[in-house]
Amino acid sequence: MKDPRDFERPIQEIEAQIENLALFGEDKSRDKEMAALRKKLEKLRREVFAKLTPWQTVQLARHPKRPYSLDYIQAMFTDWQELRGDRRFADDPAIVAGFARFRGRPVCVVGHQKGRDTKQKIYRNFGMPKPEGYRKALRIMKMAEKFRMPIFTFIDTPGAYPGMDAEERGQAEAIAVNLEAMARLRTPILITVTGEGGSGGALALGIGDRINMLQFSIYSVISPEGCAAILWKDAAQAETAASALKLTAQDLLRLGLIDRVIEEPLGGAHVDPAAVFQALEGVLAEELGELSGLEPEDLFERRYQKFRAMGAYLDAEQGEAAKAKGPAPKPA
Amino acid sequence: MWFRQKKKPEVPSGEERAVRVPEGLWTKCESCGQIMFSQTVAENGQVCPKCNYHFRISARERLEALFDEGAYEEFDSEVAPADPLEFKDSKRYADRIIQYQRQTGLKDAVINARGTMGGVPVIISAMEYAFMGGSMGSVVGEKITRAAEEALRRRAPLVVISCSGGARMQESVLSLMQMGKVAAALARLHEGRVPYISVMTDPTTGGVTASFAMLGDVNLAEPKALIGFAGPRVIEQTIRQTLPEGFQRSEFLLEKGMIDMVVHRSQMRATLVSLVQKFTGKTG
C-alpha cells in the first residue's frame, strides 16, 4: 500500500527548499528565488487542498503534528488545573480533565489526549481511553454542573481502547453511562472535534449543546481500515471505505449532525495553529454567550431535541421522507 | 471429465450462517452436539435440555414468550430504513435492506410492542438478529427512542431485549449518533422514575452494549451470551493473544459486576414479571 500521506510530499519538498535557502541568510537574488518558491508553495497547497479526498482528510485528522487537546487548552484558556483519576481504579492519561478560565470565566475542560513522541504516545495509550478515563471525565463534568461551570470538550481519539483490561472493567458501561449522564447535565456543553472522532470512544465526550468540527477532522462509526476489513474483507480498501463512510466535517454538517465547521488554514491546523486557536476561541465564546442565557431545564430539553432529530428513516404515518435530515432519502 | 473438480459449495457468510431456524424433525445442539427431537428443544424454549445451550430465537418468539398469554400489540412497525448515504460495498445497502426485509418480514432489526406482564402494562423492544445481525441504524435508534417515550407517557416499564453486533456501518455516523439519541431518551425515562430493564442475549456487542444495553435499572443476561464493547477478534488483534475461555460471556460479566443476574430462558418471563410488579408496586 502506498503511503497515505503522499499527497503532502510535493508540498514538503518545497518547504524543505525554502528552509534550505533561509539557512544562507539574506541576499537579493535568493530573496527573489524564495519569493518564487513561496508563491509556488501557495499555489500547490491550493491545488492539493481544493480536491482533498476523504482518505486524505483522514490523514490530516491523524497528522502527527496536529494540535492536541492540551495545545488547545494552553492556547485558549488560562489558569488550567488538571485533575486526575476516577477515584475508583486509576488515572487514565488518554483523557485530560480539569478546570480553567475561558476569557476570565471559570470553566471545565475535558479532552482526549494523544502523545507527541514514542514515550508520550505509549503513556497516552495513543489517545485510546479505558473505562477509568471516561469515569474520570464524568466525575469532573458532574463537578462542573455542581459549581455551575460550562463544559468544553475536545474530541480526538482513534476509539476507546479495545483491550482485555478495558473490557473487564466495563468499557461499554463506562461509555453508556457517559452518554446518558451528559444528556442530563444541567450546564452548557460545547463540543469540538479537533482530530479523530473515533466511534463510541469519541461520542462518550460528545453529547452536548453545540457540536463543532475542525475542517479536516473526521467523525465515524468505525475507522476506514476497520470498515474495509469487515465489509470489503480487505483493509487495503480503506480509501474506498473512507469515501463511503461520509466522515468529513462537511458531510456531518450536511447530515445535520453538527452545528459548525471551523475552517483550517491551507495545509491543515498544524501549519498555523495560532490561527485555529483564535478562530475556535471566537466561535466558542459566541456560542457560550448564547447558551449562558438559557435556563438549565431549557438546556436539557433542547439538548434532547437536538439528538432526538438525528437519523434518517422513512415513516409511512408521517408521509415518506418526512423525518429525514440532510439528503432526502430515497423511497425503499 | 474425471479430473474436473466440482465447484465447491458456497460457504454461507457469517451473517447468514449465524441465524438458526430449526425446521426439521431433528436438531443438533451447536454446543454439545447432541441430536434431539426438535419438538423437545422447542418445548424447552429453544434451549438444549442436555447442556443448556440457548439457541438464538427471533424477536417474535421472544415477545410471545414474555407477554401475558403471548399477546401484544405492535407499534411503529412502519418505520423503515432509508439508505441516506447511498452506501455501497460489495453490494448496495439499499439492496441489502430489501433482501433482509424479504427474509424476515420486518422493516428493520427491532420490534416495538405493548402488552402486559403479570398484569402490568409493559413496553418491549425486541431486537431481531436475523435482520443484518441486529445492527443499529437510524430505524433501530428511532424505534427504541419511541419505545422509551411511549413508556414514559404511559408510565409503563420498558424492557429492551438486545441481540446485536452493534452499530450499522452502512449508516456510518448517523448510526453512531443513535447511541446518543437512545441514551438521552433513557435519561428522561430514568428521571421520570419509570423502570427500565435491559435483557442481553447472544450477542450484544459494540454500540448497542455501549448505550442502552448497559443502562438498565436492572441488567439481565441469558446464559453464556457474548456481551462486550469490542468484539473478541478485535481484542485478540490488539493484544496478540487468544482470549481465555468464557471471556466476555454473561457469567464473566456477572462476576465483574456489570450485570445483575444471569437468567435461564425458561425463567426470563417469571423474573421480569416479578421485577416489574415490584417496581410498579403491583401485588405479585
Tell me: pLDDT of A10 over 90.
no
Average of pLDDT values for A94-102? 98
- Residue B159's pLDDT band, with cuts at 50, 70 and 90, is very high
CA A244 to chain centre: 20
Task: Say which residue the cell 437510524 belongs to.
Answer: B138
Cα maximum dimension of chain A: 75
Identify the CATH number of the domain defined by range A59-308: 3.90.226.10
State the residue for C-alpha cell 460545547.
A190
Neighboring chain A residues of B248 at a CB cutoff of 8 Å: 167
Statement: residue B14 has pLDDT above 80: no
Average pLDDT for residues A268-292, to the nearest whole number? Answer: 97
Domain B57-280 has CATH 3.90.226.10: yes
pLDDT of residue A2: 63
Locus of grid cell 475508583: A88
- Is the CB of B179 less than 8 angstroms away from the CB of A326? no
Mean pLDDT for A122-148 is 98
Residue with cell 459486576: B257
Measured in whole angstroms, how far is the alpha carbon of residue B206 from the centre of its chain?
A: 12
Contacts of A329 in chain B (CB under 8 A): 82-84
Q: Please indicate whether residue A35 or residue A124 has the higher confidence score (pLDDT).
A: A124
Do B229 and A179 count as a contact with CB atoms less than 8 A apart? no
Is the CB of A141 inside 8 Å of chain B's CB atoms? no
Q: What is the distance between the alpha carbons of residues B186 and A81, in angstroms, rounded to a whole number?
A: 33
Residue of A nearest to B241 (CA): A164
Residue type, A234: D
Mean pLDDT of A107-111: 98
**pLDDT value at residue A239:** 94
pLDDT of residue A317: 59
Q: Where are the domains of chain A?
A: 6-51, 59-308
The percentage of chain B sitting over the pLDDT mark of 90, rounded to a whole number, equals 77
**Cα angle vertex B244, ends B240, B247, to 5°?**
105
Q: How far is CA A136 from CA A83, A108, A173, in A?
A: 9, 13, 14
- When the pLDDT of each residue in chain A is averaged and rounded to a whole number, the result is 92
Confidence band, pLDDT 50/70/90 cuts, at residue B170: very high
Give strand pairing partners of B262: B221
Window from A9-18, A276-285, B74-83 with minimum mean pLDDT: A9-18
CB nearest to A324's CB, from B82, B177, B257: B82
How many other CB atoms sit within 10 Å of the CB of residue A317? 10
Q: Which residue of B has its CA nearest to A177?
A: B215
For residue A83, pLDDT over 90 is answered with yes
Q: Which of A184, A221, A255 sits opposite B187 (nearest CB)?
A: A184
Q: Is the pLDDT of residue A282 over 50?
A: yes
For residue A312, what is the nearest residue in chain B, using CA coordinates?
Answer: B138
Residue A321 pLDDT > 50: no
Residues of chain A contacting B209 with CB distance shorter than 8 Å: 172, 176
Q: Which range among A160-174, B45-59, B139-153 shows the weakest confidence by mean pLDDT?
A: B45-59
With 90 as the cut, is the pLDDT of residue B131 above it? yes
Query: Does residue B44 surpass a pLDDT of 90?
Result: no
CA–CA distance, B8 with B88 (Å, rounded to integer): 27
Dump pLDDT digits (tens) for A40-74.
Answer: 888 888 888 888 999 999 999 999 999 999 999 99
B142 pLDDT more than 50: yes
Tell me the shortest Cα–Cα distance from A19 to chain B, in angstroms: 40
Give the tens place of pLDDT for each residue, B209-267.
Answer: 999 999 999 999 999 999 999 999 889 888 888 999 999 999 999 999 999 999 999 99
- A217-268 pLDDT, tens digit per residue, is 999 999 999 999 999 998 889 999 999 999 999 999 999 999 999 999 989 9
B71 touches chain A (CB under 8 A): no
CB B89 to CB A162 under 8 A?
no
List, in order, residues 6 or more apart from B250 with CB less than 8 Å away.
B200, B221, B222, B223, B224, B225, B227, B259, B262
Beta carbons of B113 and B56 less than 8 angstroms apart: no
Asked if B167 is an interface residue toward chain A (Cβ–Cβ < 8 A), one would say: yes
pLDDT at A118 over 50: yes
pTM: 0.91
